[in-house]
Structure 1
Amino acid sequence: MRVHVVSDVHGNAEGLARAGDGADALLCLGDLVLFLDYADHSRGIFPDLFGVENADRIVELRTQGRFAEARELGRRLWDGMDRDAAIETAVRKQYAELFAAFPEPTYATFGNVDIPRLWPEYARPGTRVLDGERVEIGGLVFGFVGGGLQSPMRTPYEIDDETYAAKLAALGDVDVLCSHIPPDVPELCYDTVARRFERGSAALLETIRAVRPRYALFGHVHQPLARRMRIGATECVNVGHFASTGTPWVLEW
């Protein structure tokens, strides 16, 4: 069996259409939407609505950890607009293109910038959406838990620690544990370009230690200090920032 794994697609529909080539299945660990490209501030929903200059400024504020100022800038820009309607219209356009690019079969879970309630409208029969659920692929049991934890970024699909832990507990024993965010290990959570720690999950780390899956696969941190690390019997792997690489991570057995 050969499975390809991607995360942090962020609008890369062209690469996604090729991501399953040569594989028996594709796994997607979330973040399909491109709201703002931190490498190219001209790309994404935010600069399309408010221009590159404002995108430059909000990236600068967030990178410096000045989240309150970034939120205030956002409030001023959105004043007088129907924020929810504008974002949903833009997200729907991206989802239509991205879900059409998924090969069959695809197993997918949500990232922190995704909008889960829209996925059923776009997922075709060959795409199975899983969150707090498990599936058998080629004799191995894969467990999926989507979303991110609450953070100063206030992205669309952030949930509280208790809800996240409950989804993990519902999985039971799995061979491969798939999530969008990493376990709460500093080397796996630190982004060397953004120069900040992203939120990892302590419950995910505890689950890895207790369940001892063969692999724990995740994304979320685009330029991690460590891309992989062994925790006990488990190989923990950041499968990469697909938006920039266009290359899936490969699992064979």
Structure 2
Amino acid sequence: MRVHVVSDVHGNTEGLARAGEGADALICLGDLVLFLDYADHSRGIFPELFGVENADRIVELRTARRFDEARELGRSLWAGVDRDSAIEAAVRKQYAEMFAALPTPTYATYGNVDIPSLWPQYAGPGTTVLDGERVEIGGRVFGFVGGGLRTPMRTPFEISDEEYAAKIEAIGEVDVLCSHIPPEIPELVYDTVARRFERGSRALLDAIRRTKPRYALFGHVHQPLAQRVRVGRTECVNVGHFASSGRPWALEW
């Protein structure tokens, strides 16, 4: 059995269309939407609406952790614009392209920049969406936890620590624990390019220590200090920033 795993697709539809080649199934750990490409500020919803110069400025402010100034810039740009309608129209366009590119079967969960309410309109019969749920793939049990925890960035699908922990609890013991964000381990949550700690989940780490899955798979941190960390018998793996690499991570058994 061979399963390919991707995360942080961020608009890489061309790569996504090839991600399942040679695999029995594809797992997608979220962040399909590209709001703003921090490597190429001309790509994404934000520069399409407000131009590259404003994208440059907001990246500069966010990277410097000047979040209040970034929010103020955002408020000034959005003034007079129907924000919800503009974002939804752009996200719908991206979702239509990316869900059409997914192979059969695909098992997917949400990232923190995704909009879960729209997924049922685009996920075809070959795509199973899971969040706080389990599924058997090739005789192994996979559990899925979608979304992220609350941050100053205020991305679309951030929830409370309590809500997140409840989804982990609902999954129980699994062979492979799949999430968008990593467990709260310093080497896994520190982004070496952004030079900051992203939010990881203490509840995920506690579940790994308690239930001892064979693997814990995740993404979210684009340039982690460490891609893999072992916790007891569990191999914790950041499956990679698919938007830039275009390469899935492979799990075989």
TM-score category (smaller protein): over 0.9
- For structure 1, which runs of at least 5 residues remain unmatched after alignment? none
Aligned equivalent of 2:24: 24
Q: Provide the aligned length of Structure 1 versus Structure 2.
A: 253
Instruction: Return the TM-score normalized by structure 1.
Output: 1.00
Aligned equivalent of 1:71: 71
CA distance in 2, matches of 1:146, 1:233: 23
After superposition, residues 188-203 of structure 1 pair within 5 angstroms as 188-203=188-203
For the residue of structure 2 that corresponds to 1:31, the secondary structure is: coil
Aligned equivalent of 1:55: 55
Aligned equivalent of 1:158: 158
CA distance in 1, matches of 2:46, 2:138: 41
Instruction: Report deviation, 1:2.
Output: 0.1
Aligned equivalent of 1:149: 149
Amino acid at match of 2:237: V
Aligned equivalent of 1:208: 208
Instruction: Report deviation, 1:159.
Output: 0.2
Amino acid at match of 1:98: M
CA distance in 2, matches of 1:79, 1:136: 48
CA distance in 1, matches of 2:71, 2:6: 30
Instruction: Report deviation, 1:160.
Output: 0.3
Amino acid at match of 1:168: I
Measured against aligned partners, the alpha-carbon deviations of 1:133-178 in whole angstroms (never above 9, x if no partner) come to: 0000001000000000000100000000000000000001100000
Indicate the percent of aligned positions where both proteins have the same amino acid.
82
RMSD value over aligned CA atoms? 0.3
Instruction: Return the TM-score normalized by structure 2.
Output: 1.00
Amino acid at match of 2:160: D
CA distance in 1, matches of 2:223, 2:59: 16
Aligned equivalent of 2:93: 93
For the residue of structure 1 that corresponds to 2:247, the secondary structure is: coil
Aligned equivalent of 1:221: 221
For the residue of structure 2 that corresponds to 1:230, the secondary structure is: strand
Aligned equivalent of 2:115: 115
CA distance in 1, matches of 2:84, 2:33: 15
For the residue of structure 2 that corresponds to 1:35, the secondary structure is: coil
Amino acid at match of 1:180: H
CA distance in 2, matches of 1:245, 1:126: 25
Say yes or no: does 1:246 pair with 2:238: no
- For structure 2, which runs of at least 5 residues remain unmatched after alignment? none
